[in-house]
Amino acid sequence: MNSHPETAPTVLITGANRGLGLEFTRRLLMRGAHVLAACREPARADRLHALSDDAQDRLEILALDVASPTAITALARSLGKRNQPLDWLINNAGVLPSGERFGEIDADVLDHSVRVNALAPFLLVQSLAPLLRRGRSPRVANVSSVLGSMARCDAFRTPSYAIAKAALNMASVLLARALAPDGVRVVALHPGWVKTDMGGPDAELDRAVSVDGMLDTIERLTPETDGAFLDYRGEPVPW
């Protein structure tokens, strides 16, 4: 990316205060982007605020609870009033319920997982579509997971997360079909098993490797990849 200030893309990232979201923010700033970093509680996002020192006014931290449709609408309305196009949207915010067992799945936990992991990205893209349509080479990356792959499912594990990510994959395809006429590229990305709070210390990938790979993949999107399910290297993942 390494853009000049006047051509640097404006990128909105959800769940930007930790894990992959924080790394997306860090790596995009290093590449010269203008970053709108959204998280639920900006006042408590110390590591995110720490990036402001070297950001040269290219980082703005926004409040967004993705589980709230009202908050999504309010953010879209606020950004719309600025008359500022949006070039990239990275739907990264997610939740991974732990310790689930068959026969003991809590309905509220399942509902919350689907709301955050699948419905929120869909609603956010829908709300921000007018700004994306005006962006330069606009693109949407929905951070999914191989755990949402029906073809790769070989055991009962992480049901609330897996169901939600499978739904996100379908949402990505639908969004790609809706926005393709406007030149907005949409893709679902599997980041790999990454060393984050969610992935755990035994994960295979350093977060910088995963995020750099996903950013390179996002930059390379074409009409042929619209609605695709790709890993961080840009390789297809089975549905």
* Domain count of the fold of the chain: 1
For every residue of 218-239, DSSP letters joined together read HHT--GGGTT-EEETTS-B---
d(CA 62, CA 17): 10
Instruction: Return the closest-CA partner of residue 210 out of 236, 238, 185, 234.
Output: 234
Give the residue-averaged pLDDT of 136-155. 97
* 89-98: pLDDT as tens digits: 999 999 999 9
pLDDT band at 199 (very low <50, low <70, confident <90, very high): low
pLDDT-derived band of residue 201, with 50, 70 and 90 as boundaries? confident
Q: Does residue 2 sit within a domain?
A: no
Q: What CATH code is carried by the domain that includes residue 110?
A: 3.40.50.720
Instruction: Please tell me the distance from the alpha carbon of residue 94 to that of residue 120, in angstroms, as a whole number.
Output: 9
Mean pLDDT, rounded, for 43-47: 95
Phi/psi at 200 (nearest 5 deg)? 90, 165
pTM of the model: 0.94
Confidence of residue 6 (pLDDT cuts 50, 70, 90): low
Is residue 113 scored above 90 in pLDDT? yes
Does the pLDDT value for residue 198 go beyond 70? no
Domain-embedded: residue 107: yes
DSSP class of 165: H
Does the residue 1 lie in any domain? no
Cα(225)–Cα(213) distance, rounded to whole angstroms?
A: 16
User: What does the pLDDT read at residue 213?
Assistant: 97
Q: What's the pLDDT score for residue 3? A: 53
In a domain, 100, yes or no: yes
Is residue 59 over pLDDT 70?
yes
237 is a domain residue: no
Q: What is the domain range of residue 172?
A: 10-231
pLDDT of 46: 95
In a domain, 59, yes or no: yes
Domain assignment of residue 225, yes or no: yes
The reply to whether 106 falls in a domain is yes
Strands 59-63 and 34-39, bridge-based pairing? parallel
